[in-house]
Amino acid sequence: MIWKLKYTPVLLGVILCANNGFAQKRIVDSLTKVLNNTASDTARMSIYSALYDAGDEKEKVTYGVLAVELADKILEQTTDKKERKRILKEKVAALIEICFYYSSKKENVKAFEYLDENLKAMEKAGDKDRIASILRSIGRFYFKCGIFSKALEYNLKALPIYQDMEDTDNIAQCVEFIGDIYKNQGNDSTSLQYGLKAVDIAQKMKSNDRISIYYSMVSERYSDLHDTAKFHEYALKALKVEMQKGNKEGIAQVILGIGEGYIDNGYYEKGLEYIQKSLSLWNEIGDKNEIAYCLGRIAKIYRKQNDYPSALEYYFKAYRIYREINTKSQINYSCLRIGEMYLYQFRKYNLAKAYLDSAIVGTQTTGQLSYFVDGYNSLADLDSLTGDYKAEARDYKKYIFYRDSLKNEMTSQQTVQVEMNYELNQLDAKDKAEQAQKDIQAAADKHKETMIIWSVVGGLLLVLVFAGFVFRSLRITRKQKQLIEIKNKETEEQKKIVEEKSKSILDSITYAKRLQDAIIPPISLIKKYLPESFVLYKPKDIVAGDFYWMERAGDNILIAAADCTGHGVPGALVSVVCSNALNRTVKEFHITQPGKILDKVRELVLETFEKSESNVQDGMDISLCCLNTKTNEMQWSGAYNSLWYIQNGEMKELPADKQPIGKVDKPQAFNTYNLNLQKDDTLYLFTDGYADQFGGPKGKKFKYKQFQEVLTENAGKTMEEQMKTLDEVLNEWKGTLEQVDDILVIGIKV
């Protein structure tokens, strides 16, 4: 939030200290001292604003509330229109930030109640300008939260207020924003209509301040609707306005927009022509960020036209500028695109890896999940092309992890929107109930006044009339009471329905866990055939994508640790399919050799998913062991998940095949390894959840090397002690961080 400060000499000194790098706490302490020595409300308002900007999260909302309260006091005392407008603007900005704070704490109802109370106060005071401003502020908040229907509702409430006030500038801005809302709802044609309305209003005002913005908006909408002629017509109108104003930045921005419109509609030559014109202007202006952006767009055009040398050249030009101005996110983006080109177009694998690794390391600071997805996907392809299949498995798993994380983030945002809608509907219901009670009370007061008037005028007649009114009033009150009880009952029933549905969903998932538990062998059964063993099983959610499986075939014990795509309910559904395929392979087709089991399981899983009309890409990674309990001979096969075993105190590994149980481009038969075990040899089957858990002092992954060290150091303990140690080490590593994936480790001592 930007605050306009009236700096006193002391306050100016504090700000200069901040610019010279003093710690944030020292800035707050200095501002607090200034505040204690300042009596002027206007100066205190400025200091509160500065404290709000400098404070931590809790201090921000504290000083923001104080700023709002002081703004109300100043507004009551001043009649200067310019000063009132400035203070009102600061108050509305503070309200929005406070609203965002409470929303970030998931206190959505409190956030909206705060704004709603201020809106009611403005309506009571009859201050139309402030009412409209708050309505638009609430609309902007809904827009940022992605609840576009509510954003539209509040802006449509603000619009007629501005129309009554004949405030044409705000009318145009409100109309423009309504157009943006319709755009985000996917309604391009209605968005265009509002853009044209904004243009019409601005033309009547004969003001060039914002009309080029509206022209550009209309131009963009015509581009979205693929009306190239109209797109070009309004873009040129915007350009003409900016040229009349002599605004070189505006001219460059409009020309850039024209170029991007041509690119989006597939006219690459025209797009290139305009982007280069815009680049020339930005070079004159000296705006390095815009220069780099234009260079990146030119690179994209050349790449679309398959002119890869030119594309790479311009990506490098953009990259160098972004490094010069230290724009980290764009540095990462440029490295990502350069790495992709070296990989796919030039086949220069060392350079590709260098730039892809740089993009991923940089993104660990900036945190764009989509960059991780693209980066690890490209690295997995590079590993495959260079024959480094172990690295390919590692990078592909990271790609899957970040891809699922990105999907989960989007799902989480959608869930927050649903929760907010529910909470806000509850708030609306509360407001309606309160209004109904006020209306009832107002009606009762009116009847009471009528009865008093008749008592003065009527004498004895009034006694009879009064008695009649009393009787009627009692009957109405009784009905009103019944009405209130009915409304309260309806509200309670709605609340009960929501609670029942939430409970029903949770019960369904809990029941699904019981069903999933039914396909997992009980620990007692595993102990019966493998007495010296343990199973560390920690699902991330109620149900899991990881599962363990065991089956007996004569003297052979088949046991597996499996990791299905995803976790939670989706992963659990895939696990049912895969577990069923394992059971059928052994019991129905009588296959006991691990490699052949995995071949058949893949066939059955693909057969199941091919029945769907959707292109299902799900499957599983697995480590499958067949142990003869009499001869101690073991056969093993794995899909991405290896087998570790300790023999004579040394950790050894059987490598897995680099292909999942699922759909792949070039499927190969799974290998089967044979191993003669000795007494006290220990086997470990596992999924990737333990090694991938984030934690420790730097919040990094536990990793496989450290996992092996824990197993080796504790190999001499009993299996129960080993499991307890693994669990304790994991919990200590994880600390306060959440579990990121299902965890499964199986240990077997011969």
Rg (CA), the chain: 34
Question: Cα 658 vs. chain centroid, distance in angstroms?
Answer: 32
Q: What's the average model confidence in pLDDT over 280-305?
A: 91
Q: Over 50: is that where the pLDDT of 427 sits?
A: no
**Per-position DSSP letters for 391-407, written without gaps between them:** HHHHHHHHHHHHHHHHH
Take residue 163 and report the two structure tokens written for it.
Answer: 């129309």
Enumerate long-range contacts of 247-253, CB under 8 Å, 24 or more apart. 248/281, 248/284, 248/285, 249/285, 249/287, 250/212, 251/281, 252/278, 252/281, 252/282, 252/285, 252/287, 252/290, 253/278
* Angle made by CA atoms 440, 446, 452, in degrees to the nearest 5: 140
Task: For residue 745, list its beta bridge partners.
Answer: 536, 686
Mean pLDDT of the chain: 79
Q: Provide the b/e sequence for 381-394 (b: ≥16 CB within 10 Å).
A: bbbbeeebbebbbb
Using DSSP's 3-state secondary structure scheme, residue 206 falls into: coil
Take residue 721 and report the two structure tokens written for it.
Answer: 């002690």
State the pTM of this model. Answer: 0.43
pLDDT per residue as tens digits for the range 59-95: 667 777 787 788 878 878 888 877 777 777 777 667 7
Q: Over 60: is that where the pLDDT of 448 sits?
A: no
pLDDT computed for residue 464 by the predictor: 59
pLDDT per residue as tens digits for the range 166-224: 888 888 888 888 888 888 777 888 888 888 888 888 788 766 567 878 888 888 888 88
User: 599: alpha, beta or left, given left = phi > 0 and alpha = psi -120 to 50?
Assistant: alpha
pLDDT per residue as tens digits for the range 485-536: 776 676 677 667 666 666 666 666 666 677 677 778 988 889 999 999 999 9
| Amino acid in position 360 | I
Quote the CA–CA distance of 345 and 494 in Å, as a whole number: 59
Quote the CA–CA distance of 745 and 374 in Å, as a whole number: 30
Q: Where are the domains of the chain?
A: 415-516, 522-749
Question: Cα 215 vs. chain centroid, distance in angstroms?
Answer: 32
pLDDT per residue as tens digits for the range 592-645: 999 999 999 999 988 887 765 555 567 889 999 999 988 989 999 999 999 999
Q: CB-based contacts of 358: which residues, under 8 Å, 6+ apart?
A: 332, 335, 339
Q: How confident is the model at residue 411 (pLDDT cuts 50, 70, 90)?
A: very low
Q: For residue 676, which of 645, 623, 634 has the smallest C-alpha distance?
A: 634
Quote the CA–CA distance of 39 and 41 in Å, as a whole number: 6
User: 459: alpha, beta or left, given left = phi > 0 and alpha = psi -120 to 50?
Assistant: left
Q: State the distance between the two ends of the chain, measured CA to CA, in whole angstroms.
A: 66
Give the residue with greater pLDDT, 11 vs 742: 742
User: 106: alpha, beta or left, given left = phi > 0 and alpha = psi -120 to 50?
Assistant: left
Q: How confident is the model at residue 705 (pLDDT cuts 50, 70, 90)?
A: very high
Q: For residue 67, which of 79, 55, 506, 491 has the smallest C-alpha distance?
A: 55
Take residue 165 and report the two structure tokens written for it.
Answer: 């006030």
Q: Say what percent of the chain tops pLDDT 70.
A: 73
**Per-position DSSP letters for 260-317, written without gaps between them:** HHHHHTT-HHHHHHHHHHHHHHHHHHT-HHHHHHHHHHHHHHHHHTT-HHHHHHHHHH
Q: How confident is the model at residue 132 (pLDDT cuts 50, 70, 90)?
A: confident
CATH code at 522-749: 3.60.40.10
Quote the CA–CA distance of 413 and 418 in Å, as a whole number: 9
Q: Over 90: is that where the pLDDT of 136 sits?
A: no
Q: CB-based contacts of 166: which residues, under 8 Å, 6+ apart?
A: none
| Amino acid in position 734 | K
